[in-house]
Amino acid sequence: MLGSRSIFQNHKLSALDTPNRDFSIKEWLPLKELAADKNILFGASARYNQVISDEQFAALFAQECSLLVPEWELKWSAGDHQLRPSPNEFDFSAADAMLNFAQTHNLLFRGHALIWHESLPRWFQQVVNHQNAANVMKHHIETVVGHYKGRMHSWDVVNEAIEYDPLASQRADGLRRTPWFEFLGPDYIDLAFRIAAKADPDALLVYNDFGIDYNTAMDKAKRRAILGLLKRLKAKGTPIHALGIQAHLRGDSLDFDPKSLRQFLKEVAALDLKILITEMDVNDSKLPADIQRRDRIVAGVYEDYLSVVLDEPAVIAVITWGLSDRYTYLSKFFPRSDHQPVRPLPLDTNLQPKLAWNALARAFQQTHKR
Ligand code: G3I
């Protein structure tokens, strides 16, 4: 039984579930082709073992996507992959194998994430301090970006530098007091972008963040803080090219407001920045167990959100955080209280398209060409 806070019991579900909503599509083509027809990139994240060991999944990934971003393998340390086993070591083996997969299937390759406060290796806390932080950052970015120079579509240079809830921040700029901030001050962000630009002048350099999707006080504060950061960086001449909007959406949210989201995108684009939707999925953990209803609501969220963001010409890419329910971080991070498998992504666990797939296809078919 869903918790008492569920919208289902408040009978607000009808605001989200329209049983007669039409998700039909004009023609069944791979999502990458439907997106490419409008000069938009469609891609997804994946993990090493998914593209190297799961042949069935890898084939679908190559069929549907034109871009691959490693979910773990280009972080300092995540899951069973250690890009940085020690202060003087880099292990590119997993990411190199994924780049090889991408190149074999003519996919673009995207790097995530150079500077973040999460997924730092255990040695980081013991080793990095005020005196050496700038050199540690420079060494990491120069070595990693240099290793993939000329082969990377884009890099998330800095990830999630704004507080989860800027309203609760002691700082007017809403910057998180991450280790990088504590050691180097707010200019760590500008520094990271300058080092990355020097290491690979051809890569699109992205500031990536989440929590701007809804018309809530927190999301509106996050939008203001991110816009403020982007304006300060542009004013300093920081070599930043794009904003990455993660778009980890909630199937049960009643706070989606197309108008205010559209305005935010306009203001970002007015800074002469491109926009990438970088980690899209729809969390269905609070939705009813009934799969037909759940899939319909999830698909509606995908299509409603994308119809707004794709209206902004600066939006050049839509990337989902995983391609199939077979592999989604949400299973572990946001499991359902009824223990039913979650269904946040375009393909189901058997790699069959769901209504969410239709929603993406429809959004690409209905938007304008860039
Ligand atoms: O399963 C292993 C376990 O066997 C091992 O003992 C343990 C050792 O640390 O790791 C476990 O894996 C964890 C994995 O999630 C489980 O799914 C990793 O530690 C943990 O790092 C990993 O979390 C990842 C998280 O970023 C932190 O890197 C998620 O997979 C990944 O989906 C998530 O992605 C983030 C983006 O990078 C940034 N935006 C938000 C997004 C979702 O949180």
- Which domains can be identified in the chain, with CATH numbers? 29-366 (3.20.20.80)
Question: Hey, CA dihedral for 368, 353, 340, 80, is it positive or negative?
Answer: negative
Q: How far is the CA of 144 from the centre of ligand 1 (A)?
A: 20
Q: For residue 321, which atom of ligand 1 is closest to its CA?
A: 32
Supply the residue whose CA is at minimum distance from atom 10 of ligand 1.
Answer: 79
Give 146-180 as a DSSP string: HHTTTS-SEEEEEE--B-SSGGG-SSTT-B---HH
- Which atom number of ligand 1 is nearest to the Cα of residue 72? 28
Q: Among 64, 71, 160, 303, which one carries the catalytic annotation?
A: 160
Rounded to 10°, the helix 291-309/355-366 angle is: 20
What atom of ligand 1 comes closest to residue 322's alpha carbon? 32
pLDDT, tens digit only, all 370 positions of the chain = 333 344 444 556 667 888 889 999 988 999 999 999 999 999 999 999 999 999 999 999 999 999 999 999 999 999 888 999 999 999 999 999 999 999 999 999 999 999 999 999 999 999 999 999 999 999 999 999 999 999 999 999 999 999 999 999 999 999 999 999 999 999 999 999 999 999 999 999 999 999 999 999 999 999 999 999 999 999 999 999 999 999 999 999 999 999 999 999 999 999 999 999 999 999 999 999 999 999 999 999 999 999 999 999 999 999 999 999 999 999 999 999 999 999 999 999 999 999 999 999 999 999 999 9
Question: How many whole angstroms separate alpha carbon 39 and alpha carbon 29?
Answer: 15
Kindly list the protein residues whose Cβ atom lies closer than 6 A to any atom of ligand 1: 71, 75, 78-79, 118-119, 159, 210, 246, 279, 329, 332
The pair of three-digit structure tokens given for residue 9, joined into one six-digit string: 């019991």
| 319 phi-psi bin (left φ>0, alpha ψ -120 to 50, beta other) | beta
Give the Cβ contact number of residue 211 at 10 Å: 22
Q: If you take atom 34 of ligand 1, which residue's CA is the nearest one?
A: 71
Whether 279 is catalytic = yes
Query: What whole-number distance in Å separates Cα of residue 104 and Cα of residue 257?
Result: 41
pLDDT recorded at residue 219: 98
Nearest CA to ligand 1 atom 15: 79
Taking a C-beta distance cutoff of 8 angstroms, is the pair 201, 224 a contact?
Answer: no
Q: How far apart are CA 42 and CA 81, in angstroms?
A: 26
Which residue among 64, 279, 303, 312 is the active-site one? 279
Distance 345 CA to ligand 1 centre (A): 18
Instruction: Kindly give the distance from the C-alpha atom of residue 22 to the centroid of ligand 1, in angstroms, as a whole number.
Output: 36
Q: Which of 288, 343, 291, 328 is nearest to 50 (CA)?
A: 328
pLDDT at 12: 66
- The pLDDT value given to residue 17: 82
64 is catalytic: no
Candidate from 276, 278, 329, 342 with most ligand 1 atoms within 8 A of CB, to mutate: 329
Atom of ligand 1 nearest to the CA of 119: 28
Compute, in angstroms, the gap from residue 37 CA to the centroid of ligand 1: 34
Unique residue bearing structure tokens 């999925």: 281
300: tokens are 């509606």
**Tell me, what's the pLDDT at 8?**
47
